[in-house]
Homo-oligomer: A and B are copies of this chain.
Amino acid sequence: MKKICILTGMEEKAKRKRNPKATKKAILKAAFDEMRLHGFQGASLSKILARTGVTKGALFHHYDNKLNLGYAVVDQLIEPLIYDIWMQPLEQSINPIESLQNILRTSVQRMSNHADIGGAKSLLLGCPLNQLAQEMAPLDKGFKDRVNRIYYHWQREISKSLLQGQRNQQVQLTLDVENTAMFIVSSISGAMAMGKRTQSLPQCLEVLHGCSEHLAQYLEQLRA
């Protein structure tokens, strides 16, 4: 029945017509970009729509309101992003310390591959998880719970890995692995924040490399 309406200008229609999955993804991506640039509160639905060409009707069809859209960004974009960069490389690790050092050394490069957002280098926008955490955790429980859950996973992956390292006699047995994982995540977050605040790519890279190196040396001393 629906497809009877044959009079479809092809490209136009092909793009615009009924592609719910793609539409939803497009909105999500645009929302993510807007939020990276202006924060959640500063993100404007109108600009998100302008980025996508989608209309307000479509947006509110897929997401009940701005808040849920924000939640979806965390769940479907930010969490996987954090996982890919920081957690996944740790899973098939043989030596946790060396893996962590390796992750640190390559993360800057891997993050640099992320596409620019609104003409700004992704690196200069800092860690999307931390950005949201700092802005929204005190204001909204939904965001707070989500970001804390992700941080919890992140720290747990590291502590699990360190624990395994202790079992394999690669890591000092006296080490409080959970506390250490927390420190590692904290320092990474701090480094990205310091990089972001410079708003200058060379300075940012300098900060990130400098801090990475310091952290890597710190890890070196945790060996058994």
Chain A residues within 8 Å of B, Cβ to Cβ: 37-39, 41-42, 120, 124-126, 130-131, 133-135, 137-139, 144, 147-148, 151, 179-180, 182-183, 185-191, 193-194, 196-199, 207, 210-211, 213-215, 218, 221
* Contact (Cβ within 8 A) B193 A193: yes
Q: Identify the closest chain B residue to A36 (Cβ).
A: B138
A190 vs B130: C-alpha distance when bound (angstroms): 9
* Given A137-B197, A189-B190, A189-B194, 9 further pairs, Cβ under 8 A: A39-B39, A133-B193, A134-B134, A134-B196, A179-B210, A180-B214, A182-B210, A186-B194, A218-B218
Q: A124-B138, A134-B130 are in contact. Are A190 and B186 (CB under 8 A)?
A: yes
20 pairs, CB–CB < 8 Å, chain A vs chain B: A38-B139, A39-B41, A39-B135, A41-B41, A42-B139, A120-B138, A135-B135, A137-B199, A144-B199, A148-B198, A179-B214, A182-B194, A182-B211, A183-B214, A183-B215, A186-B190, A186-B191, A186-B193, A186-B211, A193-B193
Q: Specify which chain B residues have a CB less than 8 angstroms from the CB of A188 in the assembled complex.
A: 190
* Contact (Cβ within 8 A) A193 B134: yes
A183 vs B187: C-alpha distance when bound (angstroms): 8
Shortest A101–chain B CB gap in Å is 15
A190 vs B197: C-alpha distance when bound (angstroms): 13
